[in-house]
């Protein structure tokens, strides 16, 4: 209840395991989605959503599946959250300063030079 009141707006990620129910001692994903007020149709949407592309928005105003559809350049930044990625970014920044971005994109194999004017 406290979580629902404190965070009335949620963005839920795709989860192919969303139908999994827990035991009497541990809740499963399905149980948590039910606690968030989702019905079986909404849970089915979460099960079938495309990972890293579609997200399920829930708020007091309503719910909606939306497509973030980020391109390769944006994904190379927002998808960089692991320890290795962060370490590499720090090294590139230390070595290249403000020009670290182009080196990061090259490291990730992202074509970007056609976008520079």
Same domain, 6 and 63: yes
Q: Print the domain residue range for 83.
A: 72-115
Percent of the chain beyond pLDDT 90? 66
Same domain, 61 and 77: no
| Rounded average pLDDT over 108-116 | 83
Same domain, 47 and 95: no
pLDDT digits (tens, 9 = 90+) for 77-98: 988 888 999 999 999 999 999 9
pLDDT at 64 over 90: yes
Bigger pLDDT: 72 vs 65: 65
Same domain, 13 and 61: yes
The pLDDT score that the predictor gives to residue 10 is: 93
Same domain, 53 and 100: no
Same domain, 96 and 81: yes
In angstroms, rounded to a whole number, what is the distance separating the alpha carbons of residues 95 and 63?
A: 45
pLDDT at 6 over 90: no
Q: Is 64 helix (H, G, I), strand (E, B) or coil?
A: strand
Same domain, 63 and 88: no
Same domain, 6 and 61: yes
Residue 39 is given by DSSP the state -
Count the domains in the chain: 2
pTM of the model: 0.64
Same domain, 57 and 106: no
In angstroms, rounded to a whole number, what is the distance separating the alpha carbons of residues 73 and 105?
A: 7
Same domain, 51 and 99: no
């Amino acid at each position: 209840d406290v979580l629902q009141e404190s965070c009335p707006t949620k963005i839920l990620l795709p989860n192919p395991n969303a139908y999994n129910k827990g035991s009497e001692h541990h809740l499963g994903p399905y149980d948590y989605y039910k606690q968030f007020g989702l019905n079986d149709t909404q849970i089915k949407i979460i099960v079938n959503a495309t990972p890293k592309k579609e997200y399920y928005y829930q708020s007091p105003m309503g719910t909606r599946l939306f497509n973030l559809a980020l391109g390769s350049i944006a994904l190379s930044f927002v998808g960089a959250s692991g320890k290795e990625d962060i370490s590499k970014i720090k090294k590139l920044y230390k070595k290249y300063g403000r020009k670290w971005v182009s080196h990061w994109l090259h490291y990730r194999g992202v074509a970007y030079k056609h976008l520079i004017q």
